[in-house]
Structure 1
Amino acid sequence: MTFTVYPAVDISGGRCVRLLQGLFGSETVYSEDPAEVAASFCRAGAAWLHIVDLDGARTGEPQNRDLLLEVVRAAECPVQASGGVRSAADVEQLLAAGAARVVLGTVAIEDPGAIAELCRVHGERMAVSLDARGGLLQSHGWTVGTGTSVLEVVAEVSGLGAWGFVYTNVERDGTMAGPDLEGLQAVLDATALPVIASGGISSLEEVRAVAKVGAAGAIVGRALYEGTFTIREAIEAGSAA
């Protein structure tokens, strides 16, 4: 499987931002035009984008849905969309707008039956996010601790027909402190499905490390926005691992 680098386009208050450890109020604003950011990443060579409605993830209601749909339409490469996706109607709206894949988070914890049905209908256009703090899942935009272990959900979901998982160590996200390779490896060992790593990547060496342990891809945010490396350099690093 080709290693894929997913530039992150996180939307809050209509702007493109990055949070520190998922904490609302800690955001750094990188652009007032998320659609242009998305298009620019595609022009720079990205094969996929990872787009999140952060406000929707926190509240459970679409807060930036019109803008998110605009971003999906503006992107010139496939988009993986997430944030505030709680129902079949939410999924269908995003897919109809052109999202190639939808990532489900809170609903995977709160309503496993809904995940099973969505996977039955949409199959590999569904993925499940594993947002972890101390090995336990966080929900509602990382604001609520669930007490549910990451590996418990991996076991429940792996046979339902989803494409795979997005594993994020919330404590690393936005910190440039390096990826959680131990947690990532545990997820990889527990499933045969593809796993995308997210959170903390700050160097090309870390991109290579994530690829080397077997991740299908990596979501990269702050390191790209701050010019630590380019999308093409990240793709080359992951492919060479």
Structure 2
Amino acid sequence: MGFEVIPAVDVFDGRLARLSDGGVAFVEAFDGDPTTAARSFVEAGARWIHVVDMDLALGGEFRNLDVVAGIAGLGVSVQASGGITGHREVERALASGAGRVVLASSALSYRAAVEALLARHGDALAVGIESDRDMIRGRARQEVGLPLLETMAWLAGLDVDRYVHTSVSRVGGLEGPDLDAIGAVIDVTGRPVVASGGIRGPEDLRRVAAIGAHGAILGRALYEGLDLRDALAAVA
């Protein structure tokens, strides 16, 4: 399998949104409709869509499982994310049509629970690593207080199918990917790593692929003019 380019669809209260310095900002592209955005990405060639339930990520409840189901109904694989930490949340996401669920970094303080989740859900579960410098951060950019490399060394001893690494300081800023952090996670785990945060376009995708990442998640760039077809062609 080649390098995966995965468009992100972040959803708050049923609408396209993103985190900003002032909190949640709604996105006007695609008329603010998550399914319309996903349909456009599927038509451009996307095989996976990364759906973030921002309501859950910000400490609330799952409010957008209908969006997961609707996007899965387009015939594309859905990777569900956004503050998912327990069995019930994982099972609800899978039951709604997600093909893969990303376990939030905030779960990593509870090692026995993480090990149980991995044993139960296997390759349907990816582990999210949200980091800033040498620390792991949790949902909505809150500090978890876990050292990055030490935690990764523990995870490397488990049967983790893949990781989704997010450079917190780069999210939504279009400042380019944190190649050092991505490379460190790849080196420690030896497992497929999908990178997220700061990716602007084709050149950034080529750089991420060159250091050995399995794929990359594209967010804000796609809503501000980047054509997904160009992104896919860059790493074909």
Whether the TM-score (by the shorter chain) exceeds 0.5 is yes
SS in 2 for 1:2: coil
1:69 aligns with 2:36: no
1:81 counterpart residue number: 80
3-state SS of the aligned residue for 1:114?
Answer: helix
Asked if 1:92 is matched to 2:91, the reply is: yes
> Is the Cα contact below 8 Å between 2:10 and 2:53 reproduced in 1?
yes
The match for 1:236 is 233
Matched-pair identity in %: 41
Contact 1:52/1:82 (8 A) holds in 2: yes
Residues 27-81 of structure 1: per-residue CA shift (max 9 Å, x gap)? 241343212222221121101111101121120x424233333344334211110
Question: Residues 71, 138 of structure 1: CA spacing in aligned structure 2 closer, same or farther, 3 A cutoff?
Answer: farther
Corresponding residue number in structure 1 for 2:8: 8
State which drifts further: 63-72 or 80-89: 63-72
Native 8 Å contact 1:36 1:74 kept in 2: no
Counterpart for residue 127 of structure 1: 126
Partner in structure 1 of residue 51 of structure 2:
51
TM-score by length of structure 2 reads: 0.92
Aligned partner of 2:100 in structure 1 is 101
1:39, 1:76 within 8 Å by CA — same for their partners in 2? Answer: no
The 5-angstrom pairing of residues 1-241 of structure 1 reads: 1-20=1-20, 23=21, 25=23, 27-30=25-28, 31-59=31-59, 61-142=60-141, 144-228=142-226, 230-239=227-236
Report if aligned partners of 2:69, 2:98 keep a CA contact under 8 Å in 1. Answer: no
Tell me if structure 2 keeps the 8 A contact 1:54–1:83: yes
Structure 1 residue 107: Cα displacement? 4.6
CA deviations over 1:94-130 (Å, ceiling 9, x no partner): 1122211100014532322122111111111111111
Q: Residue type matched to 2:234 in 1?
A: A
Equivalent pair of 2:53/2:62 in contact (CA under 8 Å): yes
1:94 and 1:220 mapped to 2: Cα distance? 21
1:173 Cα deviation after fit: 0.7
Higher relative contact order (CA 8 A, sep 6+): 1
Q: How well do the aligned residues superpose, as a CA RMSD in angstroms?
A: 1.8
Bigger Cα displacement from structure 2, 82-91 vs 154-163? 154-163
- Evaluate the alpha carbon distance shift between residue 126 and residue 24 of structure 1 in structure 2; reply closer, same or farther with a 3 A threshold: farther
Q: How many corresponding residue pairs?
A: 234
Instruction: Assess, with a 3 A threshold, how the Cα gap between structure 1 residues 85 and 75 changes in structure 2: closer, same or farther.
Output: farther
